[in-house]
Amino acid sequence: MFYKNEVPYIINHIPLSSRRPGLSRQPKTLTVHSTGNPRSTAQNERAWLVNPRNIRVASWHVAVDEKEAVEAIPLNEVAWHAGDGRQGEGNAYSIAVEICESGDRAKTLDNAARVIAALLREQGLTMADVVQHFNWNKKNCPRILRAGKLWNEFLAAAGSYYEGEAQGALEAAVALLVKEEVVRSPDYWLENAKPGKLVRGEFAAVLIISTANRLRGGE
Ligand SMILES: [Zn+2]
| 23 CA to centre of own chain | 20
pTM over 0.85: no
Q: Find the mean pLDDT for residues 138-155.
A: 97
Q: Say which amino acid occupies 123.
A: Q
Q: How many angstroms is it from 69 CA to the middle of ligand 1? A: 17
Q: How many angstroms is it from 163 CA to the middle of ligand 1? A: 26
Q: How many angstroms is it from 34 CA to the middle of ligand 1? A: 6
Q: Is the pLDDT of residue 130 over 60?
A: yes
Model confidence at 134, pLDDT cuts 50, 70, 90, reads: very high
Q: How many angstroms is it from 111 CA to the middle of ligand 1? A: 18
Q: Say which amino acid occupies 142.
A: P
pLDDT at 65: 98
pLDDT at 217: 80
- Residue pair 67/135 in contact (Cβ under 8 Å)? The answer is no
pLDDT at 142: 98
Q: Find the mean pLDDT for residues 54-80.
A: 97
Model confidence at 120, pLDDT cuts 50, 70, 90, reads: very high
Which of 1-5, 64-68, 83-87 bottoms out in mean pLDDT, i.e. has the lowest?
Answer: 1-5
Q: Is the pLDDT of residue 166 over 90?
A: no
pLDDT at 218: 60
- Residue pair 115/67 in contact (Cβ under 8 Å)? The answer is no
Model confidence at 114, pLDDT cuts 50, 70, 90, reads: very high
- The mean predicted confidence, pLDDT, of the chain is 95
Q: Find the mean pLDDT for residues 48-71.
A: 97
d(CA 136, CA 142): 12
Q: How many angstroms is it from 181 CA to the middle of ligand 1? A: 50
Length of the chain: 219
Long-range contacts of 141-146 (CB under 8 A, 24+ apart): 141/33, 141/34, 141/36, 142/32, 142/33, 142/34, 142/99, 143/34, 143/36, 144/34, 144/99, 144/101, 144/105, 145/32, 145/34, 145/99, 145/109
d(CA 114, CA 121): 11
Q: How many angstroms is it from 168 CA to the middle of ligand 1? A: 32
Residues less than 5 Å from ion ligand 1, measured at CB: 33, 133, 141
Model confidence at 102, pLDDT cuts 50, 70, 90, reads: very high
Q: Is the pLDDT of residue 112 over 70?
A: yes
Domains with residue ranges and CATH for the chain: 2-165 (3.40.80.10), 180-216 (no CATH)
Model confidence at 204, pLDDT cuts 50, 70, 90, reads: very high
Q: Is the pLDDT of residue 132 over 80?
A: yes
Question: How large is the angle between the packed helices 150-179 and 105-123, nearest 10 degrees?
Answer: 50
